[in-house]
A and B are shown apart, each in its own frame.
Chain A
Amino acid sequence: AQRVTQPEKLLSVFKGAPVELKCNYSYSGSPELFWYVQYSRQRLQLLLRHISRESIKGFTADLNKGETSFHLKKPFAQEEDSAMYYCAPPWSGSARQLTFGSGTQLTVLP
């Protein structure tokens, strides 16, 4: 089945270290993928869309067709980056609804 996979449920890095949250997909072509973030006690919010190629809060994500990956990267992690990160596959259904990967809990240690 077509889906996204986040292989790491938990990821810890030290402040100032680079961080990479993995997301692999099984869709063909150039799927439009998303990264959403949920900070503690806050609502889910959009972090990045593949198609916009933006850098938000220092995070970037590039679609790698060869590896079928859409990893989220930041060169220098900050403690406030600690949160739950979800990779989301392309919209599905006639209503273009979002579904989510299993998520990765990132903890940035001081």
Chain B
Amino acid sequence: EPEVTQTPSHQVTQMGQEVILRCVPISNHLYFYWYRQILGQKVEFLVSFYNNEISEKSEIFDDQFSVERPDGSNFTLKIRSTKLEDSAMYFCASRDGGMDTQYFGPGTRLTVL
């Protein structure tokens, strides 16, 4: 069964450093998403991506964040200058055009020191 994959599973970085989180969505899907979950809190929407552009973003997704689909298979989330409060689990998700069900990856745990 096709699945969404994410790498790395855990990323540790120093405050102020750039990080790139990688996702490979399900191959025939058209809509891509990033969510995050700070420890003990709810899962929050960050951004949605369709037709090679951002279709919606939340207030959390400020100028420090960017997304890219560089090669037709990967979908990346970049944080330019990490802050302590960026420490969280980041989930990638995708869905096809006809269904509203999103399929999630296993997540990347980001720890900012």
Same complex for A and B? Answer: no
Chain A residues engaging chain B, CB cutoff 8 angstroms? none
